[in-house]
C-alpha cells in the first residue's frame, strides 16, 4: 500500500515527495515530471552522472520528448539559479580575495563584478518604493499605509538596525497600552460583579460556556462585495460542468 | 461614589439581605459592531517589513522567466472573474451618515438611542444606551436581553458576551429620585447589515471618540470601559 500511495503522489510535482521516490522502490515507471527525474539522477553516484545526460536517463528513457527535455533544463536552471547578492562567510571572502591576487576568478565572482559595474553605471533603483505582494492588492494602494509617511532608508546594516529599533519601540508601546486596557477592563468587570446583589452575583459568576456564533465576521483586508459569492458560485458551476463532459 | 450605598447597607443588615436592596438596578446594553476591515498600519512598521523583505530578497534565488510563465499557465480549468477590491472608505463615510452600519469599517461602532429613559433627569429625551430597569427576572443578563429586544425586535443577530456585566455606574438622576446602579452588558452584532431600531425617536452608530462627546461627564469612565 505504501508503494501504491507513493506512485499516486508522484504524478504531482513536489520536491519532498520526489525525495521519497528514490527511498521507496520504484516499480512503475515515472510519469513525466521533471523534478522526479532530476532527483533520481542526482541520487546516482558521481561516476554515472556524466554518462546519464548523454543517454537521456534509463527509467522510461524511450518516452522522452522535447517537452520533457525543456522541463529538465528549466529545472536545472532553477536549481542553480543565482542570487542577486552572494552570501559568503568571511573565510570564503578571504579565500576569494587571495584567488583574485593569483589571477583566478570563479564564474560567480565574475558575475558579481559585472553586476556591481552595472549598478555603478545605472544606480541602485531603490528610490521608488518597491511593491510587495500582488500589484492590485498591496498595502499601499489599498490605503492601509500612507506612502509619504514611510521613513527613507538605504539597504545597509545600520539603517536596518535603526528601523528595527523604531519598529520594536512602536509595537512594544502598543502592546503595553493594550495590556493596560485589558487589565482595566477586568478590574471594572470585577467591581461590577461585586456591586451586584447576592442572587444576581451568583448568576453572573456562572461561566457562559455556550459556543461562539459560527458566523461572526472576521475582519479582512477589503470590505465584502455584495452579490460576489453568487458570481463565484455560478462560474464554478459552469467550469465544473465542462469537466464532467470530458 | 461607593459611599452612598452605606446607609441602605445599614438598613439591610437588620434584614439579612444583601447590600443595596433598596437601590434600583438598571441593565443597559453596549451594542457594538466589530470592525469589518483590518486597521491601518503604522508607516514605521511597514518600513521595517519592507526593509526586511528587500534584504532577504537579495539572498533569494532568481528563477528564469520561463518558470513563471509555466507556473501561470497551469490553472486553465479555473474560472476567470475580474476582481476589483471594494474601497475601504464607503459612501457612508463620505456623507458621514451616522445611522448606517457601513461607516467606519476599521473601528468599532456602538449603538446610542435618543429618548426618555428611567435615569434621565426630569423626563427629557436624552442620548442613552438601550436599558431596562430590573424587575424580578432570573438574571441581569436576561433583563439586558429583553432591553435589546424591545429596541431591535428580535435577538437572532446578536451575541451577548458572557453572563457578567462589564462595568457599573452609580447615578443620582435628581435629588428626589432613588440612586440608580447602571450595569453595562456587552453584546455584538452578528451578520446583519442594518437593523430595525424602534422604541425611540432617534438612534446613531458612533465610534469611541464620538461616543465620548455624547457623554461629557462620564467620559473618563467610558474611556476605561471601552477600548478602541
Q: Which of A14-28, A82-96, B16-30 has the lowest mean pLDDT?
A: A14-28
- For B50-79, write each residue's pLDDT tens digit: 888 888 887 887 777 777 777 676 665 566
Give the span between the Cα atoms of A227 and A238, in whole angstroms. Answer: 17
Give the span between the Cα atoms of B54 and A42, in whole angstroms. Answer: 32
CB within 8 Å of chain A, chain B residues 58-117: 58-64, 66-67, 70, 77-79, 81, 85-90, 102, 105-106
Does A230 lie at the interface with B, CB-CB under 8 angstroms? no
**Does the global pTM surpass 0.90?**
no
pLDDT at residue number A180: 93
| A4 grid coordinates | 501504491
Residues 6+ apart with CB under 8 A from A50: none
Spatial contact of B193 and B135, defined as CB atoms under 8 Å apart: no
Give the span between the Cα atoms of A17 and A39, in whole angstroms. Answer: 10
Cβ B190–A78 below 8 Å, yes or no? no
Mark A189-219 as b/e (b = at least 16 C-beta within 10 Å).
Answer: beebbebbbeebbebbeeeeeeeeeeeeeee
Half-sphere exposure of B51 (CA within 13 A, CB side): 24
Spatial contact of B224 and A184, defined as CB atoms under 8 Å apart: yes
A117 DSSP assignment: H
Position with higher pLDDT, A38 vs B98: B98
Walk me through the domains of chain B, giving residue ranges and CATH numbers.
8-38+91-225 (3.90.79.10)
- For B36-55, write each residue's pLDDT tens digit: 888 888 888 888 888 888 88
Give the span between the Cα atoms of B178 and B119, in whole angstroms. Answer: 10
Residues of chain A contacting residue B12, judged by C-beta atoms under 8 Å apart: none
Residues of chain A contacting residue B51, judged by C-beta atoms under 8 Å apart: 153, 155, 159-160, 163
Please name the member of B21, B34, B62 whose beta carbon is closest to the beta carbon of A82. B62
- For A146-155, write each residue's pLDDT tens digit: 766 677 777 7
Residue A208 has pLDDT above 70, yes or no: yes
Q: What is the dihedral of CA A118, A121, A122, A127, to 10 degrees?
A: 110
Spatial contact of B38 and B106, defined as CB atoms under 8 Å apart: yes
Give the span between the Cα atoms of A186 and A208, in whole angstroms. Answer: 16
Mean of all residue pLDDT scores within chain A: 70
What 3-state DSSP class applies to A96? helix
pLDDT at residue number B79: 64
Does B16 lie at the interface with A, CB-CB under 8 angstroms? no
Spatial contact of B182 and B131, defined as CB atoms under 8 Å apart: yes
Number of A/B CB contacts below 8 angstroms equals: 211
- From first CA to last CA, the distance across chain A in angstroms is 30
| A184 grid coordinates | 482595566
Amino acid at each position: 500500500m505504501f508503494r501504491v500511495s507513493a506512485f499516486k503522489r508522484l504524478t504531482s510535482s513536489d520536491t519532498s515527495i520526489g525525495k521519497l521516490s528514490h527511498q521507496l522502490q520504484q516499480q512503475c515507471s515515472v510519469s513525466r515530471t521533471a523534478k522526479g527525474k532530476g532527483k533520481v539522477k542526482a541520487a546516482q553516484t558521481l561516476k554515472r552522472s556524466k554518462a546519464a545526460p548523454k543517454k537521456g536517463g534509463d527509467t522510461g528513457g524511450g518516452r522522452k520528448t522535447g517537452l520533457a527535455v525543456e522541463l529538465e533544463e528549466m529545472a536545472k536552471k532553477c536549481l542553480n539559479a543565482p542570487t542577486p547578492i552572494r552570501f559568503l562567510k568571511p573565510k570564503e571572502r578571504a579565500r576569494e580575495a587571495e584567488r583574485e591576487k593569483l589571477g583566478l576568478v570563479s564564474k560567480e565572482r565574475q558575475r558579481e563584478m559585472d553586476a556591481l559595474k552595472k549598478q555603478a553605471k545605472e544606480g541602485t533603483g531603490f528610490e521608488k518604493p518597491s511593491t510587495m505582494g500582488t500589484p492590485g492588492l498591496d498595502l499601499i494602494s489599498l490605503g492601509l499605509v500612507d506612502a509619504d509617511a514611510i521613513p527613507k532608508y538605504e539597504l545597509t546594516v545600520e539603517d536596518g538596525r535603526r528601523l528595527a529599533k523604531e519598529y520594536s519601540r512602536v509595537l512594544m508601546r502598543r502592546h503595553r497600552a493594550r495590556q493596560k486596557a485589558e487589565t482595566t477592563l477586568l478590574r471594572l468587570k470585577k467591581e461590577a460583579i461585586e456591586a451586584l446583589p447576592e442572587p444576581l452575583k451568583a448568576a453572573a459568576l456562572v461561566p457562559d460556556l455556550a459556543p461562539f456564533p459560527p458566523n461572526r465576521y472576521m475582519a479582512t483586508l477589503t470590505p465584502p462585495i455584495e452579490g460576489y459569492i453568487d458570481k463565484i458560485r455560478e462560474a464554478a458551476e459552469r467550469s465544473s460542468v465542462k469537466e464532467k463532459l470530458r | 461614589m461607593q459611599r452612598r450605598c452605606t446607609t441602605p447597607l445599614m438598613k439591610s443588615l437588620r434584614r439579612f439581605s444583601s447590600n443595596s436592596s433598596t437601590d434600583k438596578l438598571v441593565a443597559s446594553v453596549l451594542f457594538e459592531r466589530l470592525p469589518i476591515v483590518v486597521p491601518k498600519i503604522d508607516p514605521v512598521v511597514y518600513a521595517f517589513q519592507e526593509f526586511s523583505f528587500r534584504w532577504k530578497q537579495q539572498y533569494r534565488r532568481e528563477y528564469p522567466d520561463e518558470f513563471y510563465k509555466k507556473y501561470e499557465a497551469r490553472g486553465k480549468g479555473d474560472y476567470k472573474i475580474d476582481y476589483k477590491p471594494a474601497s475601504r472608505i464607503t459612501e457612508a463615510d463620505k456623507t458621514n451618515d451616522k445611522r448606517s452600519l457601513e461607516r467606519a469599517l476599521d473601528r468599532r461602532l456602538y449603538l446610542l438611542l435618543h429618548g426618555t429613559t428611567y435615569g434621565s433627569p426630569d423626563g427629557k429625551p436624552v442620548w442613552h444606551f438601550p436599558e431596562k430597569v430590573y424587575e424580578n427576572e432570573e438574571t441581569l443578563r436576561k433583563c439586558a436581553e429583553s432591553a435589546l429586544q424591545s429596541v431591535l425586535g428580535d435577538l437572532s443577530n446578536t451575541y451577548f458576551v458572557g453572563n457578567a456585566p462589564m462595568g457599573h455606574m452609580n447615578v443620582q438622576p435628581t435629588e428626589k429620585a432613588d440612586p440608580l446602579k447602571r450595569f453595562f452588558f456587552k453584546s455584538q452584532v452578528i451578520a446583519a447589515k442594518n437593523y430595525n431600531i424602534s422604541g425611540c425617536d432617534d438612534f446613531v452608530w458612533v465610534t469611541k471618540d464620538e461616543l465620548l462627546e455624547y457623554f461629557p461627564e462620564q467620559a473618563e469612565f467610558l474611556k476605561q470601559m471601552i477600548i478602541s
